[in-house]
Amino acid sequence: MKIAILSGSVYGTAEEVARHARGLLEAAGFEARHDPRFTLETLEAFAPDALLAVTATTGMGELPDNLLPLYHALRDRVPDWRGRPGAVIALGDASYGDTFCGGGEQMRELFGELGLREVLPMLRLDASETVTPEADAEPWLAELAGLLRD
Ligand SMILES: Cc1cc2nc3c(=O)[nH]c(=O)nc-3n(C[C@H](O)[C@H](O)[C@H](O)COP(=O)(O)O)c2cc1C
């Protein structure tokens, strides 16, 4: 099974988590590709069986700039990936209040619009609570690997 890992990051934390996820999913036997610069074309060429988005939140609940072109291309062109598994890891900071993990929420909504099947509730990693997001994501990623294998 091929898993595409999209990432949105300003300072690099989400990208590190995405890289870590790729390593764990590969170790679990999947063909995982992480590319912070995926375009709709390179994503369609990879032909993913499942999608994982790992994204930070910036501004007031916004997606990082590096993910915006792909986000808009997916919304505009709506590739037919209906029914394929999708999951989201959101990085944020609870001290931002209402916009906590807003970027992840936007990816979650987009995955819903594409008809992806949410196999696991979105993971929220709170920078005000933890400085080890990669390690904190491990149990969730192990669960994801198990669900994708079924
Ligand atoms: C300018 C700025 C704005 C932010 N806005 C939000 C926000 O609206 N909601 C949220 O949950 N986190 C917000 N954050 C926190 C980041 O999403 C969080 O620190 C994340 O771990 C950063 O990941 P990155 O290193 O991949 O950019 C903001 C951080 C900065 C520096």
Tell me phi and psi for residue 10, to 5 degrees.
-100, -50
Nearest CA owner, ligand 1 atom 16: 92
**SS3 category, 110:** helix
For residue 11 and ligand 1, the question of a CB distance below 6 A is answered with yes
Determine contact, residues 113/77, Cβ cutoff 8 Å: no
pLDDT-derived band at 51, boundaries 50, 70, 90:
very high
Mean pLDDT value across residues 9-30: 98
Q: By residue range, what is the domain housing residue 97?
A: 2-149
Tokens 């995982």 locate to 32
Compute the average pLDDT of residues 25-31.
98
Share of the chain above pLDDT 90, in %: 99
Arithmetic mean of pLDDT over the chain: 98
What are the structure tokens assigned to 7, written together?
Answer: 């990432």
Distance CA 71, CA 65 (A): 10
Mutate to test the pocket of ligand 1, among 9, 60, 96 (most ligand atoms within 8 A of CB): 96
- From the number of C-beta atoms within 10 Å of its C-beta (0-12, 13-18, 19+), residue 127 rates as middle
- The 8-class DSSP code of residue 12 comes to S
CA triple 18-133-5, angle to 5 deg: 15
**What CA–CA distances, in Å, run from 34 to 14, 54, 75, 126?**
12, 10, 20, 22
Spatial distance between the Cα atoms of 17 and 53, rounded to a whole number of angstroms: 10
- Could you tell me the CATH number of the domain that includes residue 124? 3.40.50.360
Q: Which ligand 1 atom lies nearest to the CA of residue 60?
A: 8
Domain count along the chain = 1
Inform me whether the pLDDT recorded for 49 exceeds 90: yes
Is residue 102 pLDDT above 90, yes or no? yes
Whether the pLDDT of residue 150 is over 90: the answer is: no
Distance of alpha carbon 32 from alpha carbon 96, whole angstroms? 32
